Structures are given as structure tokens and as C-alpha cells.
Structure 1
Amino acid sequence: MTATTPPISSLEETETPPSLAEPGLSARLDVLDRLVALGDGRVDRTLMDDAADLLARAGERLRLSGDHTVVALAGGTGSGKSSLFNAVCGLELSPTGMRRPMTSSAHACVWGLEGAGPLLDWLDIDSRHRYARASALDGEGQVGSLQGLVLLDLPDHDSVRAAHLAEVDKYVKVADLIIWVLDPQKYADFAVHRRYFEQLSGHTGVTLIVLNQVDRLEPEEVTECVKDLRRLLEAEGMDGPTILTTSAKSGAGVEGFREVLADAVAARQARLERLVADIDRLVRRFEDQYGATEPPSTVDDRRTAALVEALADAAGVPAVAESMESAYSLRALDYVGWPVGRLIARLHSDPLRRMRLGELRAELRAAFTTPVNAQQAHVDNALQEVTEGVVSDLPPSWQRSVRDAGRSKADELPEALGDSLRSVVPGFNQIPAWWWVVRAWQYLLIAASALGVIWLFAILGYGVLKLADAPLDIIGDPSVAAYVGLLLVCTLGLGAFTGSAARNMIALSSVRHSERLEERMREGITTSAQTLVIAPVERELAVYKSFREEVGTAISALM
């Protein structure tokens, strides 16, 4: 034996280049990275955090020394793990004893210094508890066979100190190979089986069980303990666990244990196998996020139409169209109504009509110059209805995600609906061309009627009353009065007929005008619905489809 090797405060800090993981690990890391990207903010937060942590840990471990294998010795108080640690190291590096706790911090013994410094820093091993095992006096066979080993002695998992338990959890999570040291009295301890062994399904290749202190048992008792321990482990999901028997006190089995460690170190696969096992176990947790039914990729036309109808109702499109029809009619009558009738209407003023037109104008101006005051309850119901049909077969977390996508632009809807209405409604000063034609024709008839009246008065003055000599015979001839009167009646009748026909045209055109405006308003609302509701929902469905395909591919690879 050599003299005790002093602790090394910090091994060399030269970082080794990243190792290239085997294709299986690379593919798994790529799939997990895509799952995290697709599921972030959508899938269970704890699962996403665990996946992100695993990706970070895998990246860090692969960048560190691939020539070293981190092996953690874990066990309970009195199991003899520190004694086994010292036996493998060949030195009394870790304190031993039966009192609780004995090992208060993780100790590390390293075989092979090159590249180990950054790895130990990443493991956060206190510099006082780092040891190098590389003396030529140890014998080439043993030292060479363990070259590349980083052996950790962890605190007791059943320590009364919570900090020790947290440290065990930390190293059990990051070690390349985990070795559980059990003793014959407490190998069936509920705490270790429930907290750790039940979580080791799929990790059999990177987990080793050591039944220590077999010197206390008879040979047949050792066999029975190993058999019972194997039964417990297999019942907890560990398929074909490797179980070794040792006695750190007598040295029995220690050399075989060293050989197992030497084989693991020489293979240099434990690091990759541990990461593969961790990823495979994590991927299985995604099964709850994988729906068995192929999801829809679009919102069907029926639901889209129902959404547009609901938004149109919430924005008051039918009421606006009706108001526009009334406003069109009132304004048209002001332009193309028979002037004689309008004159009579002014003599018999109708304040309700004027008030109605004024109110309509004020109401429409307000509607088209401010955001639509859509009824929020109707909008919420519409947004819920459009997603209900497409989320029924999705996992709960994705149902929430799709619903949230449908509501993601809800705050922008009122302004968008207002824009949809404002963009299609004509201004109040816009007058159709036919109104001008009818109005010109009516004033022409008024002029003709006025000329007839003047003619009749001229005949009365020159032809009947003989007030003066008529400048023209046609003005002074009383016999012409009948024809002039007939002309006057015809022009007035034609004007009244024109006014009546114009009112009929107004009734028809106001309806068509209202229908065109309503159709265009609905087209604008359809565009807003597609942009602010349907498109986000369909994008989310596309994300879920990609996520589902990735999960399906990953799970199929595990079968």
C-alpha cells in the first residue's frame, strides 16, 4: 500500500472536445429537443421542465470528458458503502462508522487526471473531497484497469439531514453508473425501494445492486437474500438486475466488484447508456400527451360560418344594415321625392321624421368611427363553440392550448370588427347618379308646370280681362287656356307619378343597398375571423399534429 494520497484541490482545467454520441442518442436528443420546442407553453409544465433539464444535462455531460465514467456509490446508513469505496480505492479516503450520518458530503476518487477537472467541477465536488488514484506502487493491473473511473461516495440516502438527501438525489440523477449498496438487514427497506428503485425502470443497464456485508450470513442465507432481492427489484420494473455480493470487511467479492467497474470503464458506454435510459424514460411520460385519434388540421366550414354569424350578430351587423336601409330611404326621399310633396311636407313639418334621420346619422357615424362595442358574452360563446368540435379528441393540455389560441386575439376583435364595418359603409355625402337624373327630371317638370301657370295667368290678363294688348296671339287667345291647363295637369301628374315610381325604386334599391353592405360587412368579418381566430387555432392544430407525430415516432422506437 502506498502512503495516503493527498486531496487534489482542482485537477487540470483543460476541457476536452465534445464527444460524439452514438446515433441512437443523437436521434433521441433531436426528438426530445423538438418535443420541448413544440410543447413549450402547451404541455404539462413539470414535464417540460424535466425535459429541458435533461437536454441541458445531456449537452453538458457530452461536452465533458468521455474518457471518464462517473460511478456513484449510494446506500443507507450502515450499509458499508464507504467501506466498499475505500476497499476499491485501496485507501481510507471516506470516513466509516455506524453513527448517522457518517459521510456528510460526496467524496470522489479519480483514476486518470487528464480531462477530469471540468467534470468534477460540473459535479460540484468540494475540492477537499477530491482524490487522485494514480500511484505506480498500486500495481499496473489494478490501476490500469480502472483508468478513467470517477468513483463517488455519496451521503446516506436515509440521513436525518435533508441536505444529504438532496445531494443523493442530485448525484443519482447525473451519475453515469449507479451502484446501490444494500445490507442483509435493510435490503427491503421501503424508503429506498419507493424513492429510487421504482424509478429505475429502463435503467437496469446502468444500475448495479451490491449486497454488502455477506460475511454476516451463511452461504444458503446469501442465496435466499439475493433471490428475494431480485424478486423485489423485478416486481418494481427492473428487468434482469445485476446483483453482486461483497464484504468490504473480509474482502470477499471486492475483486469481482472491481472487475465489473473495470469492464464498465473500459467500454466507455455508461455515459451514453445512462442518457439513453433517461431520455427513454422521459419520452414515455409524453404518452399522456399523445392522442390516439388523428387530429383535424382545419376548422370545418360549418363552424367557421357559425363563428362569422355569431361575430356579425355580436357586432350588430343586421341592425347596422337595417339602419343603413332606413337612412338610405330617408336620404333618397330628400333627393328624389316629388318637390311639390316635399313642399307640402314642409308646410306640415314632421319632427319625428327629421329626428329619426338625425338619430340614424349620429348612430351610424358613431358606429363607423369607433370600435364596435361587440357583446363580450356573444363573442366568448362564439370563440368557445369554434374550438369545441376540434378539441374533443385532443389530450387535456392540448385542448386548453387550442382554446387559448382561439382566444389569443380576442382583445383585437372589437377594433377589427369596427374596421370591417367602416371599410364598406359609404359616406353620407355619396349620392347615386340616378338620384341626380330623377331630380333633374323632376325640376324640369316643375319648370314646365311653372311655365304653364304663368301662361294661364297671361291668358287671364290679356285674353279674358283685356288688361292690355297681348304681345302674342297664343298668349291672348282664351281658347288656348284649356290646352295649357291640360299641359299643367299632365306635368303635375307626371311629376307625381315620377315621385311614386321613385319611391318604389327607393324601396327596392334600399333593400339591395342594405344587402350589399351587409354582405360586404360579413366578408370583412369573415376576414377578421380567419385572421384572428381560425388561423391561430389551425396553427395550434398544426403544432399538435407535429408534436403527436414526434411522440408517436419516439414511442414506436421504444417498442
Structure 2
Amino acid sequence: MTTTATSAFQPSAHPSADGTSVSGRFEALEQLVELGAGRLDQELLDETATLLGRAGQRLRLSGEHTVVTLAGGTGSGKSSLFNAICGLELSPVGVRRPMTSQAHACVWGLDGAGPLLDWLDVDKRFRYARASALDGSGGRETGTGTDGSLQGLVLLDLPDHDSIRAAHRAEVDRFVTIADLLVWVVDPQKYADASLHRNYIVPYARHAGVTLVVLNQVDRLQPEEVEDCVSDLRRLLEAEGLHKPRIVTTSTVAEGGVTGIREVLVDAVTARRARTERLATDLGALVDRFAAFDGGHEPPAAVDDRRATALVDALTDAAGAPAVAEVMESAYELRAVDYVGWPIARTAARLRSDPLRKMRLTELRDELRGAFTGPVGAQQGDVDNALQGVTDEVVNGLPEPWARSVRAASRSHAASLPEALGISLKEALPAFNQVPRWWWLVKTWQYFLVLVTMIGLIWIGLLVFHGVFGADDATDGLVGDSGLIPYVAVLVACTFGMGALTSSACRNVVALSSAKHGERMEDHMRTRIRAVARERVLNPVSAELDVYARYRALLNGRAPRGDSRAL
């Protein structure tokens, strides 16, 4: 019985086929997991972490050995095929099913195989060693000039994938995920078995490069029937996504019936590519799943200026900065009265005003500062309203997980924003709580006028005293001459009027400057609020957008920020 092989494994002629590129993609995929943590589907992240752990272990183990699994259903003859390839009766064969309850391993070349078999968790009772010189294969020339040795092969005979025992199926599932080369053994009666195709062929369709399908027991068919079975099997495999499937026909009872599969295995162990191809395929499958979260276009680096300005405006209103500026403007005018107002009029007004006014005025700054030490500075509801829509434009086109993470970043400090805004207003107050120098000059001038007025009144009193009580007629001069009373009265009236006029003029100036003072105060508070908005809202959004940009760079093969690792 002759065998048919549609293709064989050949040694790599390209350096990119070795473990270097796999290691680079491995590291880049690790970065994708880090960037996606807390953002992407946790199941995907967990699966990737599991694969990376498994792939990392495999890369550290022997690269000189190729792990090949013989898997199949009940009665497919995989154990007989295992024994035929090994040349010894190593795996039990019989009518009772299932015969193989645990994986059996045959190793060609023991150096470095021990740790690999331990990692594969093959029971030491079912480990067998073969020497190349005793493998009975003879020798054949290959395209690479090497002999037909199976040196480096780790061949595994697995339990039935359709076994009634769950432990057997779990054993098959485990080895299918870690083997370098998958060999599915089918027979002419059950090659279309639904469980095989549904549970293994379809899920691992993209692993066509490291998958071999063996149509066993072809000795039961006529030569023309063999070709029909192979064609029908190929049609099924291609329909299920297995690109250019490798199909080999075998018979364990016919002379030379396993030559075809031995040739494929020799090519595989000679090329030593199956390990890296399997890992590259596994990594590629996960990369494709990560690529589903790539929006397809470069995201903005930050919130645009219009939205940022609108946010600052909203937070300014939420913090009550305009109201504070208005209060400070009024306080500015009130305090100015103590310096530029006419002291005599101010004293008269104070006698009938609220006696607490002075205290409230002098402690106004402390009261305002105390009002901004906590959430009183801004209500949480107002802050939440201010944050609405700040990321609406930057998340357009982003996949939902990333759009959600950007929105979350904008609100990551929402709870602490009221207190931060209050503190920013509190720190803004002292800078404009200074008394202008000209106020002091006016105050000095006003008290000088008061002094002149008081002197004039005393002078008039002395003149009246001398005139009324008939003091010594000889007394004359500035005190004794009552004729000076009208002149002194005019002087007093002038100083009094000058003081009132000065107060009125200065109050007009204060009224104009208080408006500018309020504007400066509001600008100063706005500057501090802008810093809070950038620190607590805009910077977290920019950082999240940067994470997404790095994520896309890795997926598209561009190393982010000088990193040489990319997919």
C-alpha cells in the first residue's frame, strides 16, 4: 500500500522563521495585555496571560525537540500507528475501548527532553526512548542533505478525544493547546466525525501550518476509494477553514504503510520550525482578537481647546468664582471707605450703622478662605454637570472599551474636584487682599484736613470765648480779634468741603477700580481652576488616549516611543 502526502515540512531559509520574531511578538503581546488591563475584556486578558505563560515556558525548554501529538477518535488506530512509527509495541492496542487512558511518549534523543516531558506532564511510566540508529527507518536523502533520522522527535499517543470519560477528553484538550505539531488520525468510516470537526478542526483551523491529518486504515479501501476519501476529506477540511490541509494516508498492516507520515515527521524534526510556527500562530490568533479593539484611525492626543475652555467655564461657574469675585468687589469698595472716605462723615455714619460691620469687613478674607476648605466651594452635582460631554468628540471612532475608559478617565477625580476647586479659590484670595498705596496717601490727606478743621473749630471757639465773656481788651492778635471769626469759619468750611469733595472723587475712582479688581480676581481664580481642570480631568484623558495610541502602534507594527517591540 502506497501512501500520499500533499506536502512536507522543510527547513527554514529565512531568519524570521526562528524564535527571534516569536520572542519579539511575545513581548509586544505582553505589552498589549498591560495596556488593556482594566479596559478590555477580562476573559481575553486572562486567556492571553495563560498563553503567554505557556509560550514562555515552551520557549525556555528544548528547541531541539519537536512535540508531535497523535490524536483521534475511538477506533481510528492511532495507538497502532504510534507503535508502527516507534517500531515497538509501546502503547496498548486491543478491542476494548478506550485502550489509551494516559498519554504515552516516545522520544528520539534524550538530551534536554527530561524537563520538556516534565512540563508536558507525561507520567514517567509511559515515557520511552528510542535511539536514531535503532529506529529502523534506514536513511533517505532530503532536500537539505540530512539523513532520515527522527532525532529530536517527541511523539505522543493521546487518549480518544471522544472518550466517554471526561478525564480523557480533558487530557486531549490540554495536549492540543501545547503540542508543536498536531496530527489528527481518522479512519475511512469516521473521518467526518462531527465532534472532531466541531471541537478541534474548526477552532484550530488557523493552525493549518502545524496540522497534519492522517487517513489511517486505508488497507480497508480499494485504491480508487482511497482517492475519493482523500478528496472528500480535503473538501470538508477546506470548508471548515483549514487552508491547504496536509493529508497523509497510512496503514499499519501494509508494507511501507507508515512511510509517508515518517517522512513528514523527519521533515518536521529536521526543520525545527514547528515549535515557533505553533507559537506564532497562537500569538497571531490572540493578536487578531486584540485587533478587534482598534478603531482604525489615529486618535486625538487630547481634548480640543474648545471643549477644554468650556470645561473651565463650567467648573468656574460650579465653584462660584463669579459670585466670589462680586463679593470681593463689594468688599473692595467697603474697605476703600475706611481709607478714602471723609473721616468725619464716616464717624457720623458709623454711629448709626451695624456695629458688626467693621468686624465682618476685617475678617472677610478669613471667612471666604474658610468657605473653600471643603465641598462647600463647589457642589458635586454642579461638578458632575460640568464633566458632561467633555470627551464626546475625542471618543468618536474609538472602540467601545476604549471610549468607556476615556470617559472614566475624565471622571476619575470627580469626587475630589469640589474640594480641589475650593482650595484653588482659597489660595487665590490673598493675592488681591492688599491695600493700594494711594489709599494711604488719601487717608493721610483726609486726616490732615480733619486736623485743620479741628484747629479751625478750636480757633473759632477761642474767638467766641473772648468775645462773649469780655476778655481783656488788650488781648488782640489771632485769638483776641473776634473779627477773624468769619475768615476762620470760611477756612473750616473749605477744609470740610475739601474733605467731602476728596472722598466723593476717590469713591468714584474706587468704583471704577473695584470692577477691574473683580475682573482680576476672577481671572486669577480662573487660572487656578484651569490648572485643577488640567490636572484632574484633561491630563487623565490625555494619558488614556496615549495608552490607546501605544496600543494601536503595537498592533500595527510601530514600536511606541522608541520601543523595538511590535507585532
Shared topology, TM-score over 0.5? yes
- Structure 1 residues 83, 197: closer, same or farther in 2, change over 3 A? same
Q: Deviations over 1:476-515 (max 9, x none)?
A: 2222211111111111111111222232233222222221
Structure 1 residue aligned with 2:3: none
CA shift, 1:544, in A, is: 1.4
The equivalences for 1:309-388 within 5 A come to 309-350=313-354, 357=361, 363-370=367-374, 373-388=377-392
Does 1:63 pair with 2:67? no
CA shift, 1:207, in A, is: 0.3
CA shift, 1:119, in A, is: 0.7
Cα distance in 1 between the residues matched to 2:166 and 2:265? 30
- Structure 1 residues 44, 469: closer, same or farther in 2, change over 3 A? farther
Report runs of 4+ in structure 1 exceeding 6 Å deviation.
none
Structure 2 residue aligned with 1:82: 79
The equivalences for 1:117-132 within 5 A come to 117-132=114-129
Structure 2 residue aligned with 1:463: 467
Structure 1 residue aligned with 2:10: none
Of 281, 284, 295, which residue of structure 2 is paired with 1:280? Answer: 284
SS across alignment from 2:389: helix
Is the CA contact (8 Å cut-off) linking 2:18 and 2:273 kept in structure 1?
A: no
Is the CA contact (8 Å cut-off) linking 1:424 and 1:521 kept in structure 2?
A: yes
Cα distance in 2 between the residues matched to 1:223 and 1:21? 36
CA shift, 1:358, in A, is: 8.2
Q: Deviations over 1:240-281 (max 9, x none)?
A: 101112233556632221221112112211112112222222
Cα distance in 2 between the residues matched to 1:496 and 1:100? 118
Cα distance in 1 between the residues matched to 2:481 and 2:399? 100
Cα distance in 1 between the residues matched to 2:465 and 2:347? 28
Cα distance in 2 between the residues matched to 1:99 and 1:414? 76
Of 126, 141, 150, which residue of structure 1 is paired with 2:154? Answer: 150
Q: Deviations over 1:378-417 (max 9, x none)?
A: 3233334222210111111111222222233334433432
Does 1:72 pair with 2:69? yes
The equivalences for 1:19-30 within 5 A come to 21-30=18-27
CA shift, 1:91, in A, is: 2.2
CA shift, 1:372, in A, is: 5.4
The equivalences for 1:34-53 within 5 A come to 34-53=31-50
The equivalences for 1:204-215 within 5 A come to 204-215=208-219
Structure 2's unaligned 5+ residue stretches are 1-15, 140-146, 559-565
SS across alignment from 2:557: helix
SS across alignment from 1:108: strand
SS across alignment from 1:386: coil
Does 1:243 pair with 2:240? no
- Structure 1 residues 520, 146: closer, same or farther in 2, change over 3 A? same
Does 1:93 pair with 2:90? yes
- Structure 1 residues 136, 547: closer, same or farther in 2, change over 3 A? closer
SS across alignment from 1:365: helix
**AA of the residue aligned to 1:437:** L
Q: Deviations over 1:299-345 (max 9, x none)?
A: 21111111111221222211221222222222222333222222222
**AA of the residue aligned to 1:60:** Q
Structure 1 residue aligned with 2:498: 494
Point out the more displaced range, 349-358 or 36-45: 349-358
State percent identity of aligned pairs: 62
CA shift, 1:150, in A, is: 0.3
Is the CA contact (8 Å cut-off) linking 1:323 and 1:360 kept in structure 2?
A: no
**AA of the residue aligned to 1:187:** Y
Structure 2 residue aligned with 1:191: 195
Is the CA contact (8 Å cut-off) linking 1:297 and 1:541 kept in structure 2?
A: yes
Structure 2 residue aligned with 1:535: 539
**AA of the residue aligned to 2:413:** K
CA shift, 1:357, in A, is: 4.7
Is the CA contact (8 Å cut-off) linking 1:100 and 1:160 kept in structure 2?
A: no
Cα distance in 1 between the residues matched to 2:468 and 2:278? 127
What is the TM-score when the length of structure 1 is the normalising length?
Answer: 0.88
Point out the more displaced range, 428-437 or 76-85: 428-437
**AA of the residue aligned to 2:72:** G
Is the CA contact (8 Å cut-off) linking 1:157 and 1:168 kept in structure 2?
A: yes
Structure 1 residue aligned with 2:553: 549
CA shift, 1:520, in A, is: 0.9
**AA of the residue aligned to 2:138:** G
**AA of the residue aligned to 1:309:** D
Is the CA contact (8 Å cut-off) linking 1:464 and 1:478 kept in structure 2?
A: no
Is the CA contact (8 Å cut-off) linking 2:450 and 2:495 kept in structure 1?
A: yes
Is the CA contact (8 Å cut-off) linking 2:342 and 2:499 kept in structure 1?
A: yes
Is the CA contact (8 Å cut-off) linking 1:335 and 1:439 kept in structure 2?
A: yes
Of 100, 103, 122, which residue of structure 2 is paired with 1:103? Answer: 100
CA shift, 1:231, in A, is: 1.2
Of 110, 113, 116, which residue of structure 1 is paired with 2:110? Answer: 113
Is the CA contact (8 Å cut-off) linking 2:379 and 2:418 kept in structure 1?
A: no
SS across alignment from 1:110: strand
Cα distance in 2 between the residues matched to 1:228 and 1:174? 29
**What is the RMSD of the two structures over their aligned residues, measured on CA atoms?**
2.8
Of 438, 446, 470, which residue of structure 2 is paired with 1:434? Answer: 438
CA shift, 1:198, in A, is: 1.5
Structure 1 residue aligned with 2:422: 418
Does 1:258 pair with 2:258? no
Of 51, 55, 66, which residue of structure 2 is paired with 1:54? Answer: 51
Does 1:520 pair with 2:517? no
CA shift, 1:100, in A, is: 4.7
**AA of the residue aligned to 1:125:** V
Cα distance in 2 between the residues matched to 1:424 and 1:468? 67
CA shift, 1:22, in A, is: 4.5
- Structure 1 residues 141, 285: closer, same or farther in 2, change over 3 A? same
What is the TM-score when the length of structure 2 is the normalising length?
Answer: 0.87
SS across alignment from 1:345: helix
Structure 1's unaligned 5+ residue stretches are 1-18
- Structure 1 residues 249, 404: closer, same or farther in 2, change over 3 A? farther
CA shift, 1:111, in A, is: 1.0
**AA of the residue aligned to 2:117:** L
Cα distance in 2 between the residues matched to 1:218 and 1:144? 30
The equivalences for 1:278-317 within 5 A come to 278-317=282-321
CA shift, 1:430, in A, is: 4.1
Is the CA contact (8 Å cut-off) linking 2:208 and 2:243 kept in structure 1?
A: yes
Cα distance in 2 between the residues matched to 1:157 and 1:384? 55
Is the CA contact (8 Å cut-off) linking 1:463 and 1:475 kept in structure 2?
A: no
Is the CA contact (8 Å cut-off) linking 1:384 and 1:403 kept in structure 2?
A: no
SS across alignment from 1:29: helix
CA shift, 1:367, in A, is: 2.3
- Structure 1 residues 214, 197: closer, same or farther in 2, change over 3 A? same
CA shift, 1:459, in A, is: 1.4
SS across alignment from 1:199: coil
CA shift, 1:548, in A, is: 1.1
Is the CA contact (8 Å cut-off) linking 1:77 and 1:98 kept in structure 2?
A: no
CA shift, 1:527, in A, is: 1.4
Cα distance in 1 between the residues matched to 2:98 and 2:490? 127
Does 1:176 pair with 2:172? no
SS across alignment from 2:394: helix
CA shift, 1:461, in A, is: 1.3
Structure 1 residue aligned with 2:5: none
CA shift, 1:469, in A, is: 4.9
Cα distance in 2 between the residues matched to 1:24 and 1:543? 24
Is the CA contact (8 Å cut-off) linking 1:72 and 1:172 kept in structure 2?
A: yes
SS across alignment from 2:390: helix
SS across alignment from 1:187: coil
Cα distance in 2 between the residues matched to 1:218 and 1:519? 94
**AA of the residue aligned to 1:123:** L
- Structure 1 residues 494, 369: closer, same or farther in 2, change over 3 A? farther
Cα distance in 1 between the residues matched to 2:241 and 2:438? 87
**AA of the residue aligned to 1:58:** A
- Structure 1 residues 296, 427: closer, same or farther in 2, change over 3 A? closer
Q: Deviations over 1:8-27 (max 9, x none)?
A: xxxxxxxxxxx993444344
Cα distance in 1 between the residues matched to 2:379 and 2:255? 82
Cα distance in 1 between the residues matched to 2:427 and 2:357? 28
Cα distance in 1 between the residues matched to 2:97 and 2:29? 41
